[in-house]
Amino acid sequence: MQIVPTVAATQHAVRAARAAGRTVGVVPTMGALHAGHESLIRAARAECGFAVVTLFVNPTQFGPAEDLSKYPRTFEADADLCRRHNVDLLFAPTVEEMYPPLPGAASASSLTRVEVERLSEPLCGAFRPGHFRGVAGVVAKLFNITLPDVAYFGQKDAQQCAVIRRMVADLNFPVTIRVMPTVREPDGLAMSSRNKYLGPQERQNALCLYRALSRAREMFRQGQRRADDVLAEMNRIVSGTPGTKIDYIAAVHPQTLEPVTSLAEGTLLALAVRVGPARLIDNLVLE
Ligand code: AMP
């Protein structure tokens, strides 16, 4: 596996793989890799001739009061995991490589914005202003750097998937987006690099997200179609759990992210809850 810190060397390696007839798959990550990331890497490895993982904790998607400096960084373990999965290239740039400073300026910057309107505003967008602009911007850059045929994302970040899909459609990126199911701990907690912030009691309390989603799914299966009733029950479960603070619990259309009043197959139930120091998200598509 090549570990490559520069844009130019990555583009060069990917072009060579393409010239040799290999399809290119990319898995964008912020590192602290876990079984959720692994399932994306496994899919890329199985489906593509040249598997690329990117590892970059992107500062532009963190708000000023967010956890950028505390975000877990486990480079050696991440590189080992990628090696075990026979990843061909790990792109691990510095902030300066991704956002070169303007001449004369001290700090890294980008003057170009990629703004996916409407889809960036509700749900997490309302609580993390500018977050999806940062995500769309860095993913656009990563696509131009790794030149993928296929890019792999996780359903856990459902709004991110909707934003990226729309960006790819709007800007005609020649990339197929594959969304892989959410990987969970045995007790149902969605795997997340941010689970590392949870103490033992918080880890228990964090199960309320999955409990709320499971109860919602059960109500839907029993014929309940009123979004308000299901959301009220989810609210009851989460707010009855100590040490939690709800950012939102919503039932929305999976592509437009607009709220629905009546539940149907395909409706996205999504929630974000602060549990101690961690802001956790989870979701479920009704079927
Ligand atoms: P991150 O490193 O948190 O930016 O995540 C990188 C990619 O892994 C994103 O596409 C996430 O949606 C995906 N991912 C994170 N956690 C999970 C999970 N539990 N199951 C599936 N995919 C995940």
The answer on pLDDT for 276 being more than 80 is yes
117, two tokens:
């309107």
**What pLDDT is attached to residue 103?**
87
Whether 104 has a pLDDT exceeding 90, the answer reads no
Any atom of ligand 1 within 6 Å of the Cβ of 193? yes
Q: What is the mean pLDDT of residues 72-97?
A: 98
**Distance of CA 37 from the midpoint of ligand 1 (Å):** 5
Residue 270 is predicted with a pLDDT of 99
Continuous H helices in 29-186: 35-47, 75-84, 95-98, 124-127, 131-146, 158-171
Q: Is 105 helix (H, G, I), strand (E, B) or coil?
A: coil
Residue 148 has pLDDT above 80, yes or no: yes
Query: If you average pLDDT over residues 61-76, what whole number do you get?
Result: 96
**Does ligand 1 lie within 6 Å of residue 137's CB atom?**
no
Determine the average pLDDT of the residues in 65-79. Answer: 97
State residue 108's pLDDT score: 74
Which whole number is the average pLDDT over 113-123?
Answer: 98
**Which of 26, 30, 34, 37 is the best mutation target for the ligand 1 pocket, counting ligand atoms within 8 Å of the beta carbon and taking the most?**
37
pLDDT of amino acid 107: 78
Cα distances (angstroms) measured from residue 86 to each of 1, 5, 44, 83, 89: 7, 18, 10, 5, 9
Whether 135 shows a pLDDT value over 90: the answer reads: yes
**Candidate from 26, 153, 157, 178 with most ligand 1 atoms within 8 A of CB, to mutate:** 157
State the chain's mean pLDDT as an integer. 97
Inform me whether the pLDDT recorded for 163 exceeds 90: yes
Catalytic residue IDs = 37
* CB distance 191 to ligand 1 below 6 Å: yes
CA-nearest residue, atom 6 of ligand 1: 29
In whole angstroms, what is the distance from residue 272 CA to residue 119 CA? 16
CB atoms within 10 A of CB 33: 23
For ligand 1, say whether the CB of 156 is within 6 Å of any of its atoms: yes
One-letter-per-residue 3-state SS of 66-87? CCCCCCCCCHHHHHHHHHHCCC
What's the gap in Å between 168 CA and the centre of ligand 1? 19
Q: Are 175 and 23 in contact (CB under 8 A)?
A: no
- Predicted confidence band of residue 210 (pLDDT cuts 50, 70, 90): very high
**Rounded Cα distance, 132 and 120, in Å:** 6
What percentage of the chain carries pLDDT values higher than 90? 97
Residues 208-213, mean pLDDT to the nearest whole number: 98
Specify the DSSP element, H or E, that contains 228.
Answer: helix 227-239
Sequence-distant (≥ 6) Cβ neighbours of residue 200 within 8 angstroms: none
Q: Compute the distance from residue 173 Cα to the ligand 1 centre, in Å.
A: 21
Task: Report the C-alpha gap between 56 and 73 in whole angstroms.
Answer: 10
